[in-house]
Amino acid sequence: MEQINQYPIGKYKEPEVITEEMCMSFIDMIASFPKNLKSAVMSLDDEQLNTPYRKGSWTVRQVVHHLADSNINCFARIKFAITEDNPTIKSFAEEKWAELPDAKHISILPSLSILAGIHERWAILLKGLEKQDWNRTFFHPDLNKSQTIAEAMAKYSWHCSHHLAQIKNLKNQMQWK
């Protein structure tokens, strides 16, 4: 049961080939994600938001704030990749960021607002890319390799869907509305 709660849509598997149609689906997911997340969390009270999605995990509140932190970083990485030649991006200590006061204790509303704004701009940015732009790269020091924008978007599409599924699974298990 823990494995299902940790990876409700399965572990990430990098696609062997990323098609133009897949890239369009990434844009659709980026555009719709903030609304889908907001729909999943706005009915939750503080006690529910402070519930871990599985034993020993982050709380729903921390997941929402993590999504804002992570997606801010990815949006910036994509912009760096578009405007620079294979820039080395800055990684961030997501586990430590999730323990900071702004992730553990404050309302989720600021992060939902950040996600709405970032994702609106992100979708517009991606829609404006030429086909060859999806192959622009950045160097990820934690992975010790370069990633294309298309590869990063495949991972972030999964990442957003993964965390949304964790929250929805918890709501279903706890029978929350």
**Residue 48 exposed, middle or buried by CB count within 10 Å (0-12, 13-18, 19+):** middle
Give pLDDT, residue 33.
Answer: 98
Task: Give 92-125 pLDDT, tens digit per residue.
Answer: 999 999 999 999 999 999 999 999 999 999 999 9
**Cα–Cα distance, 125 to 174 (Å, whole number):** 38
Q: Is the pLDDT of residue 1 over 70?
A: no
Mean pLDDT of 14-25: 97
CATH of domain 19-174: 1.20.120.450
Question: CB 65: neighbour CB atoms within 10 A?
Answer: 26
Q: Where are the beta strands (DSSP E) in the chain?
A: 137-140, 145-148
Q: What is the pTM of this model?
A: 0.95
Give pLDDT, residue 156.
Answer: 97
Residue 177: pLDDT band (50, 70, 90) is confident
Mapped onto helix, strand or coil, the DSSP state of residue 148 is strand
Q: Is the pLDDT of residue 38 over 90?
A: yes
Mean pLDDT of 62-71: 98
Residue 4: pLDDT band (50, 70, 90) is low
**Cα–Cα distance, 80 to 87 (Å, whole number):** 7
> What whole-number percentage of the chain has pLDDT above 70?
98
